Amino acid sequence: MNILKSLTEMLLPRYCKVCGRRLTIGEEHLCITCLLSMPLFKNYKGGMNRPEELLISSHTLVRAESMLVYDKESNYRKILYHLKYYGHPDVATYLSAIAASRLKNDGFFDGVDLIIPVPLSRKKFRKRGYNQCSYIAKGINKITGIEIVENAVVRTVANTQQAGKGKYQRWGNADGIFMVAKPEMLENRHLLVVDDVMTTGSTLSSILEIIEKTVPSVKLSVFTLALAQ
């Protein structure tokens, strides 16, 4: 097996997605140096807002966490490029599984019933071929076994006309970018909404708001892979 691995390494070299150094056997996506020196939000001493503070408008928010601090100057921003633009979403599964192992020990997932990846619009999904947030969700599912629900909340085109509203099917806030398509699946559940990057928290606030309005019995928590400064 090791000979096979060595041969594969020789023929198909892999590179660290942060520093670009060639990976050795046993390293995945990031070299050990970049993995160990990752700017984790927990250790960050800057004056930035905590994820909970950015989502203050949500009245059912239980807890929110981010893994790494996404800095424009830092090479760690490349992880997000790989995830979204270079077609390597597996890096997110790998990293979110590491984050989930740590958070699980802190009780972060206690009581959480379902994972909801923030959806892409249909147009963007077709263009990219995948939803990067689903790959983050997969890493958390791997560690916690919590079920991922993909289509309960959908992303609509902005400024879509209100039409065919049922009991639950109201459009979101002024942006109208999200809609709860299967509210019955979310009743009385504690949902973990998963996104790639939180910057101002406005996208996440929109999705939390529409879920809370549509299904008042939910509890909500949030995990993002990165927090942008």
Can you give the binding site for Zn ion, defined by CB under 5 A? 16, 18-19, 31, 34
Q: Angle at CA 132, nearest 5°, toward 130 and 137?
A: 115
Q: Shortest distance, CB of residue 36 to Zn ion, whole angstroms?
A: 10
Residue closer to Zn ion, measured from CB, 34 or 61 = 34
Q: Shortest distance, CB of residue 23 to Zn ion, whole angstroms?
A: 8
Residue closer to Zn ion, measured from CB, 19 or 98 = 19
Strands 114-117 and 190-198: parallel
How far is the C-alpha of 204 from the C-alpha of 54, rounded, in Å?
9
Residue closer to Zn ion, measured from CB, 20 or 216 = 20
Residue closer to Zn ion, measured from CB, 22 or 124 = 22
Q: Shortest distance, CB of residue 28 to Zn ion, whole angstroms?
A: 12
DSSP conformation letters of 21-80: PBPPTT-BSB-HHHHHT--BGGG--SSPPPHHHHTTT-SSEEEEEEEEEE-TTSTTHHHH
Q: Shortest distance, CB of residue 168 to Zn ion, whole angstroms?
A: 46
Q: Shortest distance, CB of residue 83 to Zn ion, whole angstroms?
A: 16
Residue closer to Zn ion, measured from CB, 31 or 226 = 31
Q: Angle at CA 87, nearest 5°, toward 85 and 91?
A: 100
Strands 219-228 and 147-148: unpaired
**What amino acid occupies position 218?**
V
